[in-house]
């Protein structure tokens, strides 16, 4: 494809995207595809000869788009929504075109330094102190995995990187029973095992019970385990509850444990001054993760990771073969020294464009509005005595159910999702099935939330 052909096709794709973004609600939000539907419409072998791009665009329209669940649909209220924002899409275009690999500073200085700059911007907006080293990962799962690998390396009294875990004391991690599954997956991957993670009970509002944490640590110490880290969550996945980080930090300080804060979803809300207190205590964390690709209008994937003990991270992961040694030495950050992955996309570009386009004020407005809408939806639930709320609503996610019980609530969720007009998810809270409505897509406005409630109330 010549540059001028690219120009023509680029315009066509920009038109396609513009039209898609304007009319993403023309599709069912939750795909009604059956398993295999898409596969059977695609050829089983790669084309031997070049195909015209018209054919590609036709298949995008005819096969792929109808087979997707539309995360950009304004009534996508499942999981934690994301936004393919326009400036973010422009950023991804540039990233793909530049196509640099930022594994070393030298292999693209601007990629490394722009990453440092935008992560510093975000750190300051969150009210976190200086002294944190920022790194972009693809997902919060990887950010948390790296945090716990660093904790494993520096709190084991031996070199895990060299000798492995065999002779190590039995290590223990702690997180609330509401913590994200990535904590448990990290324990599995790191060789600590699922039993290496202790699930701490939560209170009536799904926050970690600090006294139970303390008791668990003390019991483990008595039994010969080696506690190494606590993962506190700001905005748990099910109910967006907020663990008492300051009190957890006290315990970590007392026992010498690594404190990692998983604020993947809710952390970015702290850019709003009146919400900054949600991060109280996080300034004492050893590491912290929040995902601009969730609520901060940045296309997937971009997870912002901060670490106050970068040497521990480096001890866990640095390994430089001859062919990657460069003359800059320690005057620069070579990202590969801190990460399991070697290859590194230029992810900072899209985030930079998002922040500049919306400005801090625009991002704040967006967060505030979603919280307002969630409270509005919660008030609808409260005002209808067929329903009940199952958890507080500190952010933009509402957990609710029909008082009738699990069967009725399941039927409600299924009917709503089968409508193709609204997509909500579910969770289980204290043994009860809950419907879960999360607001986080830029294109979700008051009318969509009101319509969702209308549909839900009518299906019940």
Site for a copy of itself in 357-396 (CB under 8 A): 357-362
Stretch (H or E) spanning 172: strand 171-176
CA–CA separation, 58 vs 8, rounded Å? 16
**Nearer to a copy of itself (CB atom), residue 9 or residue 376:** 9
Size of the residue set binding a copy of itself (CB under 8 A): 164
Residues 7-46 binding a copy of itself (CB under 8 A) are 7, 9-11, 13-22, 30-31, 33, 35-39, 42, 44-46
CA–CA separation, 298 vs 83, rounded Å? 6
Single residue of 133, 260, 308, 436 touching a copy of itself by CB under 8 A: 436
Q: What is the DSSP string of 215-281?
A: HHHHHHHHTT-EEEEEEEEBS-TTT--B--HHHHHHHHHHHT-EEEEE-TTTGGGGGSGGGGGGGTT
67 interacts with a copy of itself by CB under 8 A:
yes
**Nearer to a copy of itself (CB atom), residue 55 or residue 221:** 55
**Nearer to a copy of itself (CB atom), residue 247 or residue 368:** 368
422 interacts with a copy of itself by CB under 8 A:
no
Single residue of 221, 340, 418, 458 touching a copy of itself by CB under 8 A: 340
Contact partners, residue 231, CB within 8 Å, separation at least 6: 144, 148, 173, 174, 175, 179, 183, 260, 261, 262
Q: List the beta bridge partners of residue 200.
A: 176
Single residue of 62, 274, 320, 404 touching a copy of itself by CB under 8 A: 320
159 interacts with a copy of itself by CB under 8 A:
yes
432 interacts with a copy of itself by CB under 8 A:
no
135 interacts with a copy of itself by CB under 8 A:
no
Stretch (H or E) spanning 97: helix 86-98
Window contacting a copy of itself (CB under 8 A); options: 99-107, 198-206, 277-285, 366-374: 99-107
Which has the closest alpha carbon to 283: 91, 75, 127, 448?
Answer: 127
Single residue of 26, 58, 96, 454 touching a copy of itself by CB under 8 A: 96
161 interacts with a copy of itself by CB under 8 A:
yes
Smallest distance, a copy of itself to C-beta of residue 85, A: 8
Contact partners, residue 305, CB within 8 Å, separation at least 6: 134, 135, 136, 137, 143, 146, 147, 287, 288, 289
**Nearer to a copy of itself (CB atom), residue 10 or residue 420:** 10
**Nearer to a copy of itself (CB atom), residue 165 or residue 457:** 165
Report the chain's terminal Cα–Cα distance, integer Å: 54
CA–CA separation, 418 vs 411, rounded Å? 10
Structure tokens at 176: 């609330």
430 interacts with a copy of itself by CB under 8 A:
no
Single residue of 29, 128, 168, 391 touching a copy of itself by CB under 8 A: 168
Which has the closest alpha carbon to 29: 423, 294, 411?
Answer: 423
**Nearer to a copy of itself (CB atom), residue 72 or residue 233:** 72
83 interacts with a copy of itself by CB under 8 A:
yes
Window contacting a copy of itself (CB under 8 A); options: 97-105, 204-212, 253-261, 383-391: 97-105
Structure tokens at 169: 């004391």
72 interacts with a copy of itself by CB under 8 A:
yes
- Cα of 84 vs its chain's centroid, Å: 14
Smallest distance, a copy of itself to C-beta of residue 135, A: 14
The length of the chain is 460
Single residue of 272, 427, 452, 456 touching a copy of itself by CB under 8 A: 427
**Nearer to a copy of itself (CB atom), residue 160 or residue 259:** 160
């Amino acid at each position: 494809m010549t540059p001028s052909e690219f120009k023509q096709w680029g315009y066509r794709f920009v038109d396609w995207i513009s039209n898609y973004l304007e009319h993403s609600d023309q599709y069912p939000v939750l795909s009604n595809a059956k398993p295999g539907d898409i596969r059977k419409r695609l050829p089983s072998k790669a084309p031997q000869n070049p195909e015209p791009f018209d054919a590609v665009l036709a298949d995008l329209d005819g096969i792929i788009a109808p087979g997707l669940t539309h995360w950009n649909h304004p009534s996508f209220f499942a999981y934690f929504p994301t936004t393919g924002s326009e400036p973010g899409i422009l950023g991804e275009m540039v990233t793909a075109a530049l196509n640099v690999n930022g594994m070393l500073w030298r292999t693209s200085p601007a990629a490394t330094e722009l990453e440092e700059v935008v992560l510093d911007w975000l750190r300051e907006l969150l009210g976190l102190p200086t002294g944190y080293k920022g790194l972009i990962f693809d997902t919060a799962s990887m950010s948390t995995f790296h945090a716990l690998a660093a904790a494993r390396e520096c709190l084991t009294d031996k070199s895990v990187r060299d000798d492995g875990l065999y002779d190590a004391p039995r290590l223990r991690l702690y997180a609330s029973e509401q913590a994200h599954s990535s904590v448990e997956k990290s324990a599995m991957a790191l060789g600590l095992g699922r039993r290496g993670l202790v699930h701490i009970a939560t209170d009536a509002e799904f926050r970690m019970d600090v006294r139970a944490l303390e008791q668990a640590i003390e019991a483990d110490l008595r039994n010969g385990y080696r506690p190494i880290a606590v993962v506190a969550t700001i905005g748990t996945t099910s109910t967006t509850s907020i663990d008492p980080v300051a009190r957890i930090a006290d315990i970590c300080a007392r026992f010498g444990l690594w404190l990692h804060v998983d604020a993947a979803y809710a952390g970015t809300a702290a850019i709003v001054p009146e919400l900054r207190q949600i991060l109280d205590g996080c300034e004492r964390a050893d590491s912290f993760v929040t995902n601009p690709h969730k609520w901060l209008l940045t296309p997937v994937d971009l997870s912002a990771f901060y670490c106050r003990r970068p040497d521990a991270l480096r001890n866990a992961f640095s390994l430089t073969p001859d062919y990657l040694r460069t003359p800059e030495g320690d005057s620069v950050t070579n990202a590969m020294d801190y990460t399991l992955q070697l290859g590194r996309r230029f992810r900072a570009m899209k985030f930079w464009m998002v922040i500049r386009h919306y400005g801090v004020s625009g991002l704040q407005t967006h967060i505030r509005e979603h919280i307002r809408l969630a409270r509005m939806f919660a008030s609808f639930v409260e005002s209808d005595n067929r329903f009940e709320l199952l958890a507080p609503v500190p952010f933009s996610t509402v957990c609710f159910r029909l008082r009738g019980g699990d069967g009725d609530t399941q039927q409600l969720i299924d009917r709503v999702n089968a409508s193709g007009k609204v997509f909500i998810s579910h969770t289980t809270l204290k043994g009860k099935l809950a419907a879960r409505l999360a607001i986080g897509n830029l294109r979700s406005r008051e009318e969509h939330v009101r319509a969702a409630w209308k549909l839900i109330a009518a299906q019940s």
